[in-house]
Amino acid sequence: MKNIVILISGRGSNMQALVQAAIPGAQVAAVISNRADAAGLAWAAAQGLATASLSHRDYPSREDYDAALMALIDTYAPDLVVLAGFMRILTPAFCRHYQGRLINIHPSLLPAFTGLDTHQRALEAGCRVAGCTVHFVTPELDCGPVIVQGAVPVLDHDTAATLAERVLAVEHQVLPQAVADFVSGSLSIRGNRVYRVENTVDATAQL
């Protein structure tokens, strides 16, 4: 059984989708937030899941906070750490510590629109397609190897809010899909690309 630790900062709808997916071979060991008042934390506790909060305001530096967060996460012996709306930039030390077992969901089709306000920026850029990306986390913000993406159309009368709602529905599908692929051991990273094991075998056969 693979232990999953989920980090959130607020609503936690992606975390809920992941919990409700009940992926075979995976168990949610804990849900952790940097905000004690995160709505998702109350939901997780009501499901009987282990929850914890660790406020970044209690630490003098990003490095100190991330070290404490790592220590907390590691008490749950995670095989996979999932950033599901965890709105913090992570230190290189944190990213290195969980290299290959740390994934993030981002509300854009990366590499377009890293960072914040992704939907407004997609509208202003005139995109006709938008979406979301689940990727392995590396020290460079929103730049790690992509596991899965989901796309939606941009409609003529979209606002950032209506587009966000359409993308979020797809986020709830692709995040459990990416975690299921990880848990089944079928993902392999080479360079900045992620392969399914079947593809890896095929690629090798062609050499």
66 binds ligand GAR (CB under 6 A): no
Whether 106 is a known active-site residue: answer yes
The tokens describing 191, both together, are 């360079």
Find out whether 186 is annotated in a ligand binding site.
no
d(CA 123, CA 197): 36
Q: Which of 118, 105, 93, 122 lies closest to 171 in space, CA to CA?
A: 105
For tokens 């008490």, the residue is 75
109 binds ligand GAR (CB under 6 A): no
135 binds ligand GAR (CB under 6 A): no
12 binds ligand GAR (CB under 6 A): yes
8 binds ligand GAR (CB under 6 A): yes
The catalytic position among 56, 97, 106, 135 is: 106
Torsion of CA 6, 116, 121, 150, to 10 degrees: -10
Q: Which stretch binds ligand GAR (CB under 6 A): 99-107, 179-187, 190-198, 199-207?
A: 99-107
For tokens 């630790």, the residue is 5
Residue 29 Cβ, how far from ligand GAR at the closest point, in Å? 18
Find out whether 89 is annotated in a ligand binding site.
yes
Q: Which residue is nearest to ligand GAR (CB)?
A: 85
From the list 80, 84, 90, 174, which residue makes contact with ligand GAR (rule: CB under 6 A)? 84
Q: Which of 81, 61, 84 lies closest to 72 in space, CA to CA?
A: 81
Query: 11: exposed, middle or buried (C-beta count within 10 Å: 0-12, 13-18, 19+)?
Result: middle
Using DSSP's 3-state secondary structure scheme, residue 9 falls into coil
Q: Give Cα 193 to chain centroid, integer Å.
A: 17
Q: Which x/- pattern, by CB under 6 A, does the window 157-176 give for ligand GAR?
A: -----------x--x-----
Find out whether 88 is annotated in a ligand binding site.
yes
Please work out the total of residues on this chain that contact ligand GAR, with binding judged by CB under 6 A: 15
Task: Mark out the alpha helices in 75-193 (DSSP H runs).
Answer: 92-97, 118-124, 160-183
From the list 2, 11, 56, 62, which residue makes contact with ligand GAR (rule: CB under 6 A)? 11
Provide the binding-site residues for ligand GAR, judged by CB under 6 A. Answer: 8, 10-14, 40, 84-85, 105-107, 132, 168, 171
Annotated binding-site ranges: 12-14, 62, 87-90, 104
Name the residues annotated as catalytic.
106
